[in-house]
Amino acid sequence: MTNIILNRREQFVALAFAVAGYMAVWLPWKLALNAGILEGSAADNLIDGLQMISLPLMLILGIAGGALFPKRFWIGGLFAWSLFPVMAIFEMILGSTSHSIWPIEFMLYGVGAGVLIVAGWFTSFVVTTIKSMMSSRD
């Protein structure tokens, strides 16, 4: 990882991963909210109302990042979680009472990104191994 500057294609895909990561959490929450399943703080807050389907969806993004960019496997995992701290910072600026335990919140975002980066690494390892096996057969 000596060169971390992304080219145009990687920037576009990173932006797509950021939007897809946010949608993987927001859309199931919004659907549960509209169905009347959520109550209390889960109805008020996206993270409190996190749905179980969001976790495999995010994992798929980490795996896809490793498959698309084996040499830069971290793109999918890092960018899938990237909008959450950005949104939290905007919410903290707008309302000083929100995100009162933001250090813990940001650590959890980092853990989530870390899990997806590991999934991306594992996928890139598998993809690279398969490619090298296929090329050695020739």
Of 28, 30, 32, the closest CA to residue 53 belongs to: 28
Alpha-carbon distance 107 to 47, whole Å? 14
Domain boundaries, the chain: 8-137
Of the listed ranges 88-102, 104-118, 124-138, the one predicted with least confidence: 88-102
pTM (2 decimals)? 0.87
Express each pLDDT in 33-74 by its tens digit.
899 888 887 888 787 788 999 999 999 999 999 999 999 999
